[in-house]
Amino acid sequence: MTRATIDFDPFSEQHFNDPYGTYRRLRDEAPVYYSEKYNFYALSRHADVAAAFKDFETYSSAYGVTLEEIQSGQHSHNKSIIWMDPPEHRRMRSLVNKVFTPRAIQAQEEVIRDRITHYLSKADPANFDVVADFSALFPVEVITIMLGVPEADRQNVRLWLETSLERPPGRMTQSRAGNEAMMKTGALYYNIIQERRVEPQDDMISRLCAVEVEREDGTRTSLDDVEIAGFCTLLGGAGAETVAKLLGIATVVFSKHRDQWEQLRADRSKIPAAVEELLRYEGPVQYDCRYVTKDVELHGTTIPQGAAIMLLGAAANRDERAFTDAEIFDINRDRAQAQNLAFGYGIHSCLGAALARLESVIALDYLLDFMPDYEVDVANVKRTTLTSVNGYARVPVRVRQG
Ligand code: HEM
């Protein structure tokens, strides 16, 4: 058992501020880490995390994908795709692939540009917060427009989500306010579903009402209200939180790597590669958890059946065993070296990856014009303290006029 004296606490201030030094120690000294405080195991080396993501039989999602979900033992029966193992997952994924098609995503380009222009045209370069005035606002609009949420509730989806994910340092579980926020989100989708069942429109909720899924007994039925609401909650949540965080992170990272910001300004064709490197270097999703279905022997340690295990994708993405100079940010790096785990890997790999990439690439292109030369107001930067996702709530910048 590698019980090194590393204090890895994913609910601590230190983790939210900068987990990467601890990740290095975990990879080097405790590749199978055990947290006595929270009773979970953690994998941090690229090869181990990638293998665990692929091995869904040993590392099950059916008990939840956060520590809280797994340890509470109250894994939801209102099943969402992210909490499913095959064969259920396979059936649901092939079904949602039908509504979340590459074409449906490409068709969002206009909406993305429209929402980005809307917020940037209102922004004041002399007093601009990249997250609060921009990146927190537009991604939730894109996904809720796709879903069919009325305008008045689009930003609520984001605000309720933030309340539900908020973890003041030291707290693992959801607050009462967080719970209530989830109920409001569920009620919002439930009401829209009822309306669309009567009067379908050209949106994703209407299409989800129309599709059929093959059930375990071989019969085919349409999705029920709870299944659709669960999927919408997941999409709305993932769509609202992640790209918002990535762009805040991008602003801070590029402020420390000005030469690479200059390279992007000079050659916009490098933006997609820059997005991939941001995801690798400091992707917003730090980890996904799994339930261990049978004893596993790894690096001389037995991870017991029934344990909760954290797959630290963000640590694996900085593993020098997989990437040359892994701790260095380099938009020109050879990306074929190893799998980038920022979007997960294997059967649960991110369904929204293409949308996230499209939004991020377009947004960076606009930011390069809006703030070609900027300085982060470091004293007023504010980190978020959420479960699973790291990033910033505020990244104020001073745009230098050339
Ligand atoms: C930078 C942006 C994003 C990152 C870093 C990210 C990351 C991830 C990761 C790591 C997973 C795997 C979870 C697991 O294995 O347990 C995942 C799954 C998922 N993501 Fe994303 N995501 C992003 C954006 C989005 C967006 C924009 C959407 C949709 C609008 C989305 C929808 C989903 C869904 C539905 C799943 C579950 C897929 C399944 O269980 O089969 N994500 N994402």
Kindly give the distance from the C-alpha atom of residue 340 to the centroid of ligand 1, in angstroms, as a whole number.
14
Residue 336 DSSP symbol: T
CA 156 to chain centre: 19
Kindly give the distance from the C-alpha atom of residue 285 to the centroid of ligand 1, in angstroms, as a whole number.
9
Place of tokens 């509730």: 153
Cα–Cα distance for residue pair 59/296, rounded to 1 Å = 10
Kindly give the distance from the C-alpha atom of residue 328 to the centroid of ligand 1, in angstroms, as a whole number.
25
Residue 302 one-letter amino acid: T
8 A C-beta contact, residue 81 and residue 90: no
The domain locations on the chain are 13-399
Q: What is the third-level CATH fold of 13-399?
A: Cytochrome p450 (1.10.630)
- Residue whose Cα lies nearest atom 35 of ligand 1: it is 351
Kindly give the distance from the C-alpha atom of residue 35 to the centroid of ligand 1, in angstroms, as a whole number.
26
Question: Residue 317, Cβ neighbours under 10 Å: how many?
Answer: 23
Tell me which residues have their CB closer than 6 angstroms to ligand 1. 61, 65, 81-82, 93, 143, 234-235, 238-239, 242-243, 246, 283-285, 288, 313, 342-344, 348, 350-352, 355-356
Locate 363 and state its tokens.
């947004």
What burial letters (b/e) apply to 108-141, b meaning 16+ CB within 10 Å?
Answer: beebbeebbeebbeebeeeebbbbbbbbbbbbbb
- The per-residue pLDDT for 171 is 66
- Catalogue the E-assigned strands of 242-373: 288-292, 296-298, 301-303, 308-311
- The per-residue pLDDT for 346 is 97
**Maximum Cα interatomic distance, the chain, rounded to a whole number of Å:** 66
Kindly give the distance from the C-alpha atom of residue 398 to the centroid of ligand 1, in angstroms, as a whole number.
32
Q: Which atom of ligand 1 is nearest to the CA of 80?
A: 40
8 A C-beta contact, residue 53 and residue 346: yes
| Nearby residues of 21 by Cβ (< 8 Å), 6 or more positions away | none
8 A C-beta contact, residue 362 and residue 116: yes
- The per-residue pLDDT for 2 is 47
State how beta strands 40-43 and 308-311 pair: parallel
Give the CA distances from residue 30 to residues 7, 324, 395, in Å, rounded to whole numbers and listed in that order.
Answer: 11, 21, 34
* Dihedral sign computed on CA atoms, order 32, 33, 39, 40: negative
Locate 103 and state its tokens.
């074409």
Kindly give the distance from the C-alpha atom of residue 14 to the centroid of ligand 1, in angstroms, as a whole number.
25
CB burial of residue 195 (10 Å; 0-12, 13-18, 19+) = middle
Cα–Cα distance for residue pair 270/257, rounded to 1 Å = 15
- The per-residue pLDDT for 76 is 60
Q: Which atom of ligand 1 is nearest to the CA of 284?
A: 5
- Residue whose Cα lies nearest atom 23 of ligand 1: it is 242
- Residue whose Cα lies nearest atom 38 of ligand 1: it is 348
State how beta strands 301-303 and 220-222 pair: unpaired
Kindly give the distance from the C-alpha atom of residue 98 to the centroid of ligand 1, in angstroms, as a whole number.
17
Kindly give the distance from the C-alpha atom of residue 238 to the centroid of ligand 1, in angstroms, as a whole number.
6
* Dihedral sign computed on CA atoms, order 196, 235, 101, 213: negative
Task: Out of 135, 345, 350, give the residue to mutate to test ligand 1, the one with the largest number of ligand atoms within 8 Å of its CB.
Answer: 350
- Residue whose Cα lies nearest atom 15 of ligand 1: it is 348
Residue 98: enclosing H or E segment and its boundaries?
A: helix 88-99
- Catalogue the E-assigned strands of 103-248: 128-129, 212-214, 220-222
pLDDT in tens, the chain (402 residues): 445 489 999 988 888 889 999 999 999 999 999 999 999 999 999 999 999 999 999 999 999 999 988 988 766 655 789 999 999 999 889 988 888 888 889 999 999 999 999 999 999 999 999 999 999 999 999 999 999 999 999 999 999 988 887 777 766 677 787 789 889 999 999 999 999 999 999 999 999 999 888 888 888 888 999 989 989 999 998 988 899 999 999 999 999 999 999 999 999 999 999 999 999 999 999 999 999 999 999 999 999 999 999 999 999 999 999 999 999 999 999 999 999 999 999 999 999 999 999 999 999 999 999 999 999 999 999 998 777 788 999 999 999 876
